[in-house]
Amino acid sequence: MGRNWMSKKAKQNTLAQKINVIRASVMGANDGILSVAGIVLGVAGATTNSFAIFISGISGMLAGTVSMAMGEYVSVNSQKDSQENAVNHQRQALEDDYQKELDFVAEKYAKTGIPEDLAQKAAREMMEKDALLTTVRERYGFDMHNFTSPYQAAIASMIAFSLGSLLPLLTITFTKHSIRVPLTVVSVVVALAITGYAAAAIGKAVRRRAVVRNVIAGLLTMGATYLIGSLFAR
């Protein structure tokens, strides 16, 4: 009983780490699409020079890629530091009052609907195997052996941002002048709908609302930057 419970919990926590990396990838792609689309459309509003548009897009892509990777690294690293502090606190709690922690774990299991005697047995088995791992998981909700890697999250975000930014950059650079702006807008809207849907699916949110919100944000961003660029058109 205890071993099966522990195995199930470990799989759930491992899945959570993978989901965090996927989330970083989806949000990185979304930011890459939207940020670079805003830049290139803003420049396109001011000039028809394809080289100027391309250079601005590349610059935005490189700056955004580094910024996104560093932001994700700092965010996940801060979370990891907090988790390590929780582990240290829990190690001390076990030394101070082991029985209190055992009772907490048993009570936690009993609240899930497990009969009290089985909850006590499962808690004892898991505490005997690894008391620190068990209490950290039950008190704080993470597996101390499966921290999300800040490097993995940063790399995933960096690659996703770069790939996402290529869509508006290549679309507006290599299509005819007469259709490149509307074609870029359409391609970006479709891409934002996909990333909005994916983000909602990962976060178990209302998908239609997330798609609409993401698309509207994209249209407002592109419209605003294009309008501002048009004000400086020669």
Q: CA-CA distances (angstroms) from residue 24 to 66, 150, 153, 169, 199?
A: 14, 11, 6, 21, 10
Q: Is 233 a member of any domain?
A: no
Q: Is 58 a member of any domain?
A: yes
Q: Is 63 a member of any domain?
A: yes
Per-residue pLDDT tens over the stretch 166-196: 999 999 998 998 899 999 999 999 999 999 9
Predicted local distance difference test score (pLDDT) of residue 4:
53
Q: Is 68 a member of any domain?
A: yes
Structure tokens at 195: 């990333």
Judging by beta carbons within 10 Å of its beta carbon (0-12, 13-18, 19+), is residue 165 exposed, middle or buried?
buried
Q: How many CB atoms lie within 10 A of CB 215?
A: 17
Structure tokens at 56: 């601005």
Can you tell me the mean pLDDT for 40-51?
Answer: 92
Q: Is 234 a member of any domain?
A: no
Q: CA-CA distances (angstroms) from residue 187 to 57, 68, 79, 167, 198?
A: 16, 22, 35, 8, 17
Query: Which residue segment(s) compose the domain that 120 sits in?
Result: 2-228
Predicted local distance difference test score (pLDDT) of residue 19:
73
5 confidence band (pLDDT: 50, 70, 90): very low
CA–CA dist 57, 55 (Å, integer):
5
For 83-92, 146-155, 202-211, which range has the lowest pLDDT when averaged over its residues? 146-155
CA–CA dist 165, 68 (Å, integer):
12
DSSP string, 175-223: S-TTTHHHHHHHHHHHHHHHHHHHHHHHHT--HHHHHHHHHHHHHHHHH
- For residues 191-214, one letter each, b for 16 or more C-beta atoms within 10 angstroms of the residue's C-beta and e for the rest, the string is bbbbbbbbbbeeeeeeeeebbeeb
Quote the percentage of the chain above a pLDDT of 70: 92
Predicted local distance difference test score (pLDDT) of residue 12:
52
Predicted local distance difference test score (pLDDT) of residue 2:
47
pLDDT(58) > 90: yes
Mean pLDDT of the chain: 87
Quote the percentage of the chain above a pLDDT of 90: 44
Structure tokens at 53: 């548009």
How many domains is the chain built from? 1
Per-residue pLDDT tens over the stretch 108-132: 888 888 888 888 888 888 888 888 9
Contact 138, 104 (CB under 8 A): yes
